């Protein structure tokens, strides 16, 4: 199969590219990526040596860029990761989030329809369900009650993708995964930010009371699930992907403190995030039933591997935390 992978220079997209090439699951992979602050060619260094791999720098919200990518890749399937993916940035600056996540997804769907592309996997998030009260777990029929500009833009793009199945018969599946963690994650999200700061003895900023709950999914488990949906998922269907591991944020931070050996005194209780979702919880029973997929990496092992990766990739962290990151960091944490 020839794949067009959008956002393949980011955290999950690059892991997916490594996974499909490593597993011999693609004849060719073309990554279309704008290389925003979150996109990084270092993440694709391993893939770049593979003759099946190609890269095109371009914006999914620009029809000409998408057209060029489709013409070059001649894809049998699109796997769509590209997004502005961070809640805090979507609060500080929603415009690029709306543009990429909504207009970009629209532009890709239009191209897929025009070119008759046989398969389209739209990669989304459990955040579209909003905060889930105890004791419920969201299945794929749970209402969309998105809280942030990020999650609302993902909910909108999910509905748009599904409408292209219902109205135009495009072979689309939507995946909704829980919080991912693992190597190559940009240090703006909870786990890599805490690890990077802990390794440097910097403060660990915990929002609010730290009791918000997230379900944690190791990135390689997520990539296997997306491949399963690409191969076996049904058109017009949504598939939740969870790690079966719910933890309050403060517990995650305590485990990072233990794994890095830093001082607990580094914890800083800071002002809560506006509109902060208290609890995410989902069931992936449908995916498990239809494809046999299950998460394989226990949180303890995944966290150990992730901490080890950040320890040995300080140069990667230094490079991605250049000027733009410092501006964001000051804006987000400066007056908290
Ligand atoms: P990321 O921020 O690490 O990477 C996003 C990539 O998209 C980057 O390479 C960036 O350069 C690229 N990109 C951004 N705007 C673009 C545009 N206009 N045109 C082309 N490329 C563009 O994100 P991630 O964490 O790897 O997330 C990937 C996908 O998975 C997103 O759709 C996100 O909503 C979804 N998701 C993420 C998580 C998570 O925990 N990180 C969980 C569930 C779902
Ligand atoms: P994050 O990684 O931004 O993912 P999301 O908001 O998409 O779930 O945050 C995960 C949780 O960690 C969320 O409840 C917010 C919290 N958090 C902090 O307490 N401090 C931080 O510095 C960050 C980035 C997140």
**How many angstroms separate the alpha carbon of residue 261 from the centre of ligand 1?**
31
Q: Is the CB of 137 within 6 Å of ligand 1?
A: no
| Residue 61 domain flag | yes
| Residue 113 domain flag | yes
What total of structural domains would you count in the chain?
1
| Residue 67 domain flag | yes
Check pLDDT > 90 for residue 324.
no
Q: Which ligand is nearest to the CA of 88?
A: 2
Q: Which tens digits make up the pLDDT trace of 179-212?
A: 999 999 999 999 999 999 999 999 999 999 999 9
Task: Compute the distance between CA of residue 320 and CA of residue 330 in angstroms, rounded to an integer.
Answer: 15
| Residue 200 domain flag | no
Q: Which tens digits make up the pLDDT trace of 68-98?
A: 999 999 999 999 999 999 999 999 999 999 9
Nearest Cα to 241, choosing from 257, 230, 255? 230
Structural element, H or E, at residue 287: helix 285-291
Here the CATH number for the domain that contains residue 177 is 3.40.50.720
Task: Compute the distance between CA of residue 101 and CA of residue 111 in angstroms, rounded to an integer.
Answer: 16
| Residue 186 domain flag | no
Answer for the pair 188, 328: CB distance below 8 angstroms, yes or no: yes
Q: Which tens digits make up the pLDDT trace of 124-146?
A: 999 999 999 999 999 999 999 99
Q: Known catalytic residue: 126? A: yes
| Residue 330 domain flag | no
Q: Which of 129, 142, 150, 181 is catalytic?
A: 150
| Residue 317 domain flag | no
State the closest ligand 2 atom to the C-alpha of 88, by its place in the atom list counted from 1: 3
Q: Is the CB of 79 within 6 Å of ligand 1?
A: no
Q: Which ligand is nearest to the CA of 11?
A: 1
| Residue 308 domain flag | no
Verdict on whether the full-model pTM lies above 0.95: yes
Alpha carbon 128 to its chain centroid, in Å, reads 13
Structural domain span for residue 170: 2-181+218-241
* 3-state secondary structure labels for all residues of 30-96: EEEECCCCCCCHHHHHHHHCCCCEEEEECCCCCHHHHHHHHHHHCCCEEEECCCCCCHHHHHHCCHH
Residue 187 CA neighbour count, 13 Å, CB half: 29
Q: Which of 127, 188, 215, 221 is catalytic?
A: 127
From atom 20 of ligand 2, which residue's Cα is the shortest distance away? 206
């Amino acid at each position: 199969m020839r794949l067009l992978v959008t956002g393949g220079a980011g955290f999950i997209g690059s892991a997916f590219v490594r996974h499909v090439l490593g597993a011999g699951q693609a004849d060719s992979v073309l990554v279309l990526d704008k290389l925003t602050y979150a996109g990084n060619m270092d993440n694709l260094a391993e893939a770049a040596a593979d003759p099946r791999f190609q890269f095109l720098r371009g914006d999914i919200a620009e029809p000409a860029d998408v057209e060029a990518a489709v013409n070059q890749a001649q894809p049998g399937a699109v796997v769509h990761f590209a997004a502005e993916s961070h809640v805090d940035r979507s609060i500080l600056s929603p415009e690029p989030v709306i543009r990429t996540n909504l207009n970009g997804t629209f532009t890709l769907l239009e191209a897929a329809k025009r070119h008759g592309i046989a398969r389209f996997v739209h990669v989304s998030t459990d955040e579209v369900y909003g905060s889930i009260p105890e004791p419920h777990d969201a299945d794929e029929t749970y209402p969309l009650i998105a809280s942030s500009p990020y999650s609302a833009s993902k909910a909108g793009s999910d509905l748009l993708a599904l409408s292209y199945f219902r109205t135009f018969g495009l072979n689309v599946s939507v995946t909704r995964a829980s919080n991912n963690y693992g190597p190559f994650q940009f240090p703006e999200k909870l786990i890599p930010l805490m690890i990077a700061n802990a390794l440097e003895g910097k403060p660990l900023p915990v929002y609010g009371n730290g009791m918000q709950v997230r379900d944690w999914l190791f990135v390689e488990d997520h990539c296997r699930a997306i491949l399963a949906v690409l191969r076996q998922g049904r058109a017009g269907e949504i598939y939740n992907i969870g790690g079966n591991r719910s933890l309050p944020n403060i517990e995650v931070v305590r485990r990072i403190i233990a794994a890095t050996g830093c001082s607990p005194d580094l914890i800083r209780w800071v002002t809560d995030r506006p509109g902060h979702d208290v609890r995410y919880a989902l069931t992936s029973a449908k995916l498990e039933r239809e494809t046999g997929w299950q998460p394989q990496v226990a949180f303890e092992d995944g966290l150990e591997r992730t901490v080890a990766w950040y320890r040995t990739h300080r140069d990667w962290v230094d490079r991605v935390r250049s000027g733009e990151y410092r501006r964001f960091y000051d804006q987000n944490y400066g007056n908290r």
